Amino acid sequence: MANINDFKAKLSGGGARNNQYKVVMPLPGYAQVGGEIEDLAFLCQAAELPGMAISTIEVPFRGRTIKIAGDRTIADWNIKVINDTNFKLRNAFERWMNGINNMTDNEGLTNPVDYQVDAFVDQLDRNGNTFKSYTLRVVFLSVINAIPLDKATKVIYQKHLLHWRSNTLKVTQLLKNYL
């Protein structure tokens, strides 16, 4: 019968921790004024390791449906960012969206290279070393959620949720002893 020592022996590295991660994402040049990449690394309060799915293709055959694997897709990626009083990151994200589609004249950049970047999510161990890394290729900002304002709320930091779209994903296992 298994005991606690058997369980601990199987839990490599003490287990991956939800609060041990780093997000690095350069912004398109037109959205930056300086320092946003470093600020995002500190003010990103929550992130996700990207989700993936394989669709199903149903093929009718002699009265039955055969299910086979279809295309693999990358789920929308979300991060939550703390807002500071100068709105530095919020303003940068709004400039990013404005470059994609300007609110005043409904025009925007037409070449995806101009508004897409690679984003990096690193899972860290308890010593701050990256042991698994996800690179979301050619992401673009698709949603900036509202920041609720409420006088009845106790003092908390403002946060905004951002949704990103990606076409491809690269997963890298860096430290082999964590397998």
- pLDDT digit string (tens) for 99-110? 999 999 999 999
* Integer CA distances (angstroms), 169 to 6, 66, 179, in order: 34, 29, 20
Distance in angstroms between the alpha carbons of the first and the last residue of the chain: 24
Q: Check if the beta carbon of residue 77 is closer than 8 Å to that of residue 164.
A: yes
Question: Helix (H, G, I), strand (E, B), or coil: what is residue 9?
Answer: helix
- The CATH class, in words, for 17-178 is mainly beta
Asked whether residue 169 carries a pLDDT value surpassing 90, the answer given is no
Q: CA-CA distance, 143 to 33, in Å (whole number)?
A: 21
- Long-range contacts at 27-32 (CB < 8 A, ≥ 24 apart): 27/92, 27/96, 27/117, 28/96, 28/99, 28/114, 28/115, 28/116, 28/117, 30/95, 30/96, 30/99, 30/114, 31/92, 31/93, 31/95, 31/96, 31/99, 32/92
> Are 157 and 80 contacting, i.e. CB atoms less than 8 angstroms apart?
no
DSSP secondary-structure letter at 26? P
pLDDT tens for 121-150 read 999 998 899 999 999 999 999 999 999 888
As a whole number of angstroms, the longest Cα–Cα distance in the chain is 69
Residue 167 has pLDDT above 90, yes or no: no
What is the predicted pLDDT for the residue at 141? 94
- Name the residue with higher pLDDT: 64 or 178: 64
Predicted local distance difference test score (pLDDT) of residue 2: 73
pLDDT band with cut points at 50, 70 and 90 for residue 177? low
Return d(Cα 98, Cα 106) in angstroms, integer.
9
Residues 26-61 have pLDDT tens digits of 999 999 998 899 999 999 999 999 899 999 999 999
- Tens digits of per-residue pLDDT, 65-100? 999 999 999 999 999 999 999 999 999 999 999 999
User: Residue 52 in contact with residue 169, Cβ under 8 Å?
Assistant: yes
pLDDT confidence tier of residue 175, bands split at 50, 70 and 90: low
